[in-house]
Structure 1
Amino acid sequence: MHSKISPLRIRTANDNAIQPQGQFVLYWMIANRRTRWNFSLQRAVEWAQDLDKPLVILEALRCDYRWASDRLHRFVIQGMIDNAAALRKDPVSYLPYLERQPGDGSGFLARLAREACVVVADDFPCFFLPRMISVASKQIPCRFELVDSNGLLPMRATDKVFLRAYDFRRYLQKELKPHLFELPAADPLTKVRLPKLETMPSEITKRWPTEDEEILRELVNNLDEFPIDHSVGPALFDGGQQAATHQLNEFLNKRLVHYADSRNQPQQEVASGLSPYLHFGHISAHEVFAATMNHEKWTPDKLAAKATGSSTGWWGVSETAESFLDELITWRELGYNMCSKRDDYARYSSLPDWAQATLAEHADDPREHVYSLDEFESAHTHDELWNAAQRQLVREGRMHNYLRMLWGKKILEWSPTPQDALAVMIELNNKYAVDGRNPNSYSGIFWVLGRYDRAWGPERPIFGKIRYMSSENTARKVKVKEYIKKYGPNGQQDLF
């Protein structure tokens, strides 16, 4: 079958053959939870057209994943509502499935796969998804493909793990250009004619009933029946394709112009706010890139001829857009490079040797302040700025990007060991941040401990040669008075 998708983005997860006698092509939507700009959906449509079969889309939500909460469930279900609405008139069968009790969904995918010609799923290198794919590959009796729709550079375009952003950026400037013209279809189902699935076997529909759009809308604000953490309430912002598109348009039209100068200012909201939507696949990095370049009236001839590794000047767009693209592409995809190549990306032992060595040398240094996980979580430290950042994370599901760095550095300074600090950062970030559990969030956490960084002087207690940050220096560099007031102990709402 001829495909418009680069072979670098497609890999098989088992050795089974296509089953032409199957009833449909199945797209198992697990990471790219959207109907637009989605290579995985595009690939599934290609198979359905080639085999002249109906297309079934399964989007399921377990209830027993780590850190399952009202916050994360609501965000995903809001995405399901948008998907149901978007697919309402398309020639596909959309199956949004919500597991009510642990294990209820067991066997659903395998049973659907018995009816399928081909199964297509998203290739995502982080959290529990790779393990889930590994298990599923043994249960699917037909061809099982994984499609990479994560970023502009296919994860398999290089075998190298890049240790510095500069090196990765220089590689991108040499090798990315051909991939800039390999964008997914904006709407893979436009003008597509497929046979409609008449009926699903009753044993499937009875054992694993899926939700209609109306029920999803009722459930999104009433999650009590799910055995998840109800103490972590909804985020301050909504999930789904529509919210993601609105966020992108607001950023490009109102905040991008200030991005380069003011994105480190906690009291100014100029960041894109797109990372939660990118994490859950409610928007594509390709769509964000295309919209940004259209906003900048960019053409490929504006690219610099030489790869320098510089974070500015290569794209040939405004300073603010260059700064944003470096975050969207270089820093974001650097994390995907690590997670797709190393299974130990979330372990302390994955830190650079120099970082482990200097932290070990200072492991026994006296700590003026030492806090427990509970004290960190409830923002009970002596530091007003750190407490404010933690309260923002708990209350809103996000934290100002610049303060995330300070937040992590202080956890390192106030923990008994660097290993304890890592465990605290992972727990709090993954529990409360909507964009947690992502390659990019692990990059930020491990940067605190030296990943993607270099040795710094002067050597300090506890930190050794790890880059140091303090709340006092931060307050001198950026304005924080109103931020501290906004996220003070009496601001907005209580923590628990």
Structure 2
Amino acid sequence: MPVPTARISALNAVPTRQDGDHILYWMTAARRSAWSYGLDHAIARARELGKPLIVLEALRCDYPWASDRLHAFVLAGMRANAARFTAADVVYHPYVEPSRGAGKGLLAALAARACLVVTDEYPCFFLPRMQAAAAALPVRIEKVDGNGVIPLRAAEIVFSTAHAFRRFIQKRCREFIEQRPAADPLARLDLPHTAVPKDILARWPAASPELLAGTPAALARLPIDHSVAACGEGGSEAATRALRAFLADGLPRYGDRNDPAASCTSGLSPHLHFGHIGAHEVLAALLAREAWKPARLAATASGSREGWWGVSPAAEGFLDQIVTWRELGFNMCFHRPDHAEYESLPPWARKTLAEHASDPRQVYTPAQLEAAATHDGLWNAAQRQLVREGTIHNYLRMLWGKKILEWSPDPRTALATLTHLNNKYALDGRDPNSYSGIAWILGRYDRPWGPERPVYGKLRYMSSDNTARKLRVAGYLARHAA
């Protein structure tokens, strides 16, 4: 099935070079070898022009918050990709920058001999700026949106609430729900053969097996932050295992997901963020488990969180997370380049925060917060989990953010601290979902709440005491003790 045209856009007006040597797929966000609209489109263009395909996956060393943790997770994905593309006889060039700026010119060198370049569209972090710079190259570049079930361009406005976006999804979902990338695009490729030119390999050699293995010694040689230790297991195989484990064990108990003792969340956020698995694969597996058919969709787009999909309550709850809330964040990032800035918060939230800017408050420095050195044991446990494991339990992450707002000298400092800690330590940081979660702490996608409180104003209030009364946290506190 061809990639829907709504998902393809040109980065520049350069025509396709018919006499080029190859098609270059510049893999930047969908870092996987299956269920990828970007890869599907690159293969389709290679077949159309009768040209070989080269896949470039590069990892620079100077992206913000570059660390052993983030590098190791990406490298695990590159290792899995190398195995899959090699088995399919597709040229795959995994390049890992050994020093700042060493990779400069690699894309241009491979693109200079290409008919065109295909890349992934991703509306967040440094990727839009990187691709905007690449648009100046004298080669056609086409970017492909494989971010979610609903194409980014299907929504022409920024949605300010989950309810409004949910209604939009329910109105439009039938157009897109059965459109999916190929589950095995590398099967029976039958493309012409090629190789990365020797002069390019000599200057930008492929990553060694040791480096792709992400060994401590290999990571230690890179100019990245070694204080943030590697954790978690990256790569498409690990992502698929996590999905299967969740569907078998976590999903039946998903109604208890707010309870830290239940351990029933999907754990898929890091894999989705790094593109080691895509939303379409997750959705297909979930709907297959539910024996779902399109006829089970509700007739009316009510915006309700329950009952519209026609699946079990647990599956409805998970779909609301991975479709509604996840893609709501992409909607904001796509339409608002300033999505990470304070000025992008709702006017009512900025107004109430300004009115309470001079309220007395207990203040911790960013360094104290990073070290989990507060008086609040539950908050400290959440911060330790973030530092050690690269994640925080979903419900406790909301509490974690609210207390940073409460303990910061002003809301702008709170936003900066939230962004830094999350992006430095969270495996799923630097993502539209991350920026949605951070901004939710400060009022995005929410409404004014009463009673009006010091520091918070009309923002939703959360406390550790109330959380401890609602949830079973004794085991969580023990697991994440100092």
Task: Report the Cα distance in structure 2 between the residues aligned to 1:41 and 1:212, rounded to whole angstroms.
Answer: 24
**Which residue matches 1:494?**
none
Task: Report the Cα distance in structure 2 between the residues aligned to 1:383 and 1:151, rounded to whole angstroms.
Answer: 38
**Which residue matches 1:222?**
218
Q: Secondary structure at the match of 1:57?
A: strand
Q: Secondary structure at the match of 1:450?
A: coil
Instruction: For residues 349-385 of structure 1, give each alpha carbon's deviation from its aligned partner in whole angstroms, at most 9, with x where no partner exists.
Output: 0000000000000000000x20001000000000000
1:333 to 320, 327, 332: 327
Alignment of 1:215-364 (within 5 A): 215-217=211-213, 219=215, 222-235=218-231, 237-260=232-255, 262-364=256-358
Deviation at 1:216, TM superposition (A): 1.9
Q: Secondary structure at the match of 1:68?
A: coil
**Which residue matches 2:424?**
431
1:55 to 50, 53, 61: 53
Deviation at 1:220, TM superposition (A): 6.7
**Which residue matches 2:79?**
81
Task: Report the Cα distance in structure 2 between the residues aligned to 1:419 and 1:89, rounded to whole angstroms.
Answer: 50
Instruction: For residues 89-129 of structure 1, give each alpha carbon's deviation from its aligned partner in whole angstroms, at most 9, with x where no partner exists.
Output: 21310000000000000000011100100100000000000
Task: Report the Cα distance in structure 1 between the residues aligned to 2:313 and 2:157, rounded to whole angstroms.
Answer: 30
**Which residue matches 1:158?**
155
Task: Report the Cα distance in structure 2 between the residues aligned to 1:16 and 1:91, rounded to whole angstroms.
Answer: 30
**Which residue matches 2:183?**
186
Q: Secondary structure at the match of 1:121?
A: strand
2:2 to 1, 4, 18: 4
Deviation at 1:218, TM superposition (A): 6.1
Unaligned 5+ runs, structure 1: 490-496
Task: Report the Cα distance in structure 2 between the residues aligned to 1:134 and 1:215, rounded to whole angstroms.
Answer: 29
Q: Secondary structure at the match of 1:405?
A: helix
2:127 to 126, 129, 133: 129
Deviation at 1:201, TM superposition (A): 2.7
Task: Report the Cα distance in structure 2 between the residues aligned to 1:166 and 1:158, rounded to whole angstroms.
Answer: 14
**Structure 2 residue 399 is matched with structure 1 residue 406:** yes
Deviation at 1:217, TM superposition (A): 2.3
Deviation at 1:222, TM superposition (A): 3.4
Deviation at 1:215, TM superposition (A): 4.9
Alignment of 1:410-421 (within 5 A): 410-421=403-414
**Which residue matches 1:68?**
66
2:445 to 435, 444, 452: 452
State the TM-score, normalized to the length of structure 1.
Answer: 0.96
**Structure 2 residue 145 is matched with structure 1 residue 145:** no
Deviation at 1:219, TM superposition (A): 4.2
Deviation at 1:223, TM superposition (A): 0.6
Task: Report the Cα distance in structure 2 between the residues aligned to 1:196 and 1:221, rounded to whole angstroms.
Answer: 35
Q: Secondary structure at the match of 2:409?
A: coil
Task: Report the Cα distance in structure 1 between the residues aligned to 2:458 and 2:384, rounded to whole angstroms.
Answer: 29
State the TM-score, normalized to the length of structure 2.
Answer: 0.99
Task: Report the Cα distance in structure 1 between the residues aligned to 2:70 and 2:217, rounded to whole angstroms.
Answer: 12
**Which residue matches 1:176?**
173
Task: Report the Cα distance in structure 2 between the residues aligned to 1:427 and 1:211, rounded to whole angstroms.
Answer: 29
Q: Secondary structure at the match of 1:100?
A: coil
Task: Report the Cα distance in structure 1 between the residues aligned to 2:254 and 2:478, rounded to whole angstroms.
Answer: 24
Unaligned 5+ runs, structure 2: none
**Structure 2 residue 37 is matched with structure 1 residue 42:** no
Deviation at 1:268, TM superposition (A): 2.2
Q: Secondary structure at the match of 2:218?
A: coil
Deviation at 1:266, TM superposition (A): 1.2
Instruction: For residues 407-463 of structure 1, give each alpha carbon's deviation from its aligned partner in whole angstroms, at most 9, with x where no partner exists.
Output: 000000000000010000000000000000000110000000000000000000000
Contact 1:63 1:227 in 2 (8 A): yes
**Which residue matches 2:31?**
33
- List, as ranges, runs of 4+ consecutive aligned residues in structure 1 with deviation greater than 6 Å: none
1:95 to 77, 93, 96: 93
1:377 to 345, 348, 370: 370
Task: Report the Cα distance in structure 1 between the residues aligned to 2:62 and 2:217, rounded to whole angstroms.
Answer: 19
**Structure 2 residue 193 is matched with structure 1 residue 200:** no
**Structure 2 residue 475 is matched with structure 1 residue 482:** yes
Instruction: For residues 452-485 of structure 1, give each alpha carbon's deviation from its aligned partner in whole angstroms, at most 9, with x where no partner exists.
Output: 0000000000000000000011011111111111
- CA RMSD after TM alignment: 1.0
**Structure 2 residue 381 is matched with structure 1 residue 388:** yes
Task: Report the Cα distance in structure 1 between the residues aligned to 2:369 and 2:208, rounded to whole angstroms.
Answer: 41
Equivalent AA in structure 2 for residue 375 of structure 1: Q
Task: Report the Cα distance in structure 1 between the residues aligned to 2:254 and 2:316, rounded to whole angstroms.
Answer: 10
Contact 1:38 1:185 in 2 (8 A): yes
- Structure 1 stretch 214-223 or stretch 115-124: which is displaced more? 214-223
Q: Secondary structure at the match of 1:399?
A: coil
Contact 1:29 1:122 in 2 (8 A): yes
Equivalent AA in structure 1 for residue 313 of structure 2: E
Equivalent AA in structure 2 for residue 406 of structure 1: L
**Which residue matches 2:436?**
443
Equivalent AA in structure 2 for residue 292 of structure 1: L
Task: Report the Cα distance in structure 2 between the residues aligned to 1:212 and 1:372, rounded to whole angstroms.
Answer: 42
Task: Report the Cα distance in structure 2 between the residues aligned to 1:100 and 1:214, rounded to whole angstroms.
Answer: 13
Deviation at 1:202, TM superposition (A): 2.4
Task: Report the Cα distance in structure 2 between the residues aligned to 1:419 and 1:218, rounded to whole angstroms.
Answer: 37
Contact 1:267 1:480 in 2 (8 A): yes
Deviation at 1:189, TM superposition (A): 1.6
Deviation at 1:133, TM superposition (A): 0.2
1:16 to 1, 11, 14: 14
